[in-house]
Structure 1
Amino acid sequence: MIEIEAYTVEKIKDPFGILAGERYEFKLDTEVAEDDDLYVEGGLYLRVIYRADGDGGRVVKYELYERLTDKYVDAELEDEEEQMLEAFCGAHFSEAEE
């Protein structure tokens, strides 16, 4: 299971207004237990794209990276972790600066 230690969130500009809703980019520093398959010495961070509109919001995509090297990690979160991620982003996207 992952735990979020720190995060940043930025609103992504859509100058053409093509996409419905607003997009936000999160960078989430995480803590992963040593016995977890995702564990990497030095830690991981997630880059998350979150879409919010009148009907709510959802994670559009996420990527995992090694914190020290910025190397992409080809892995997926468990369903429970994805749900936690979506709830976290839904609770914090409004903190983004315009």
Structure 2
Amino acid sequence: MSCGDNHETDCSEVLAEVWLFLDNECDKGRKELLKQHLDECSPCLAEYGIDEHLKELLAKKCGGDHAPEALKERLRATIRKTVVEQGGVSVEVTRAQVETRKTQ
């Protein structure tokens, strides 16, 4: 997309990086260039506004949800099993100690 005006930063670059700008994930210099472009370019500012509202909506509707503890435990168990299988070790749990040894 291009508004037809000549800007220091091209419209397509700004729109490609608008999420980095919204998330404060670009360096200070780049952030200033993007902000300057948005201040000068109405079409990009309108697109930025849409993205900003979408981000706020997603955060409002999806933010704050936490995985149930049972799911976390299943994931941990699966990760442990995968590590053991790929690492070629066996794990034996006894009453007083845990032993690991390399399997052949």
Which TM-score applies when normalising by structure 2?
A: 0.27
The structure with the greater share of residues assigned to helix is 2
TM-score relative to the length of structure 1: 0.28
Which structure has the higher relative contact order (CA within 8 Å, separation 6+)?
1
Compare CA radii of gyration and give the structure with the larger one: 2
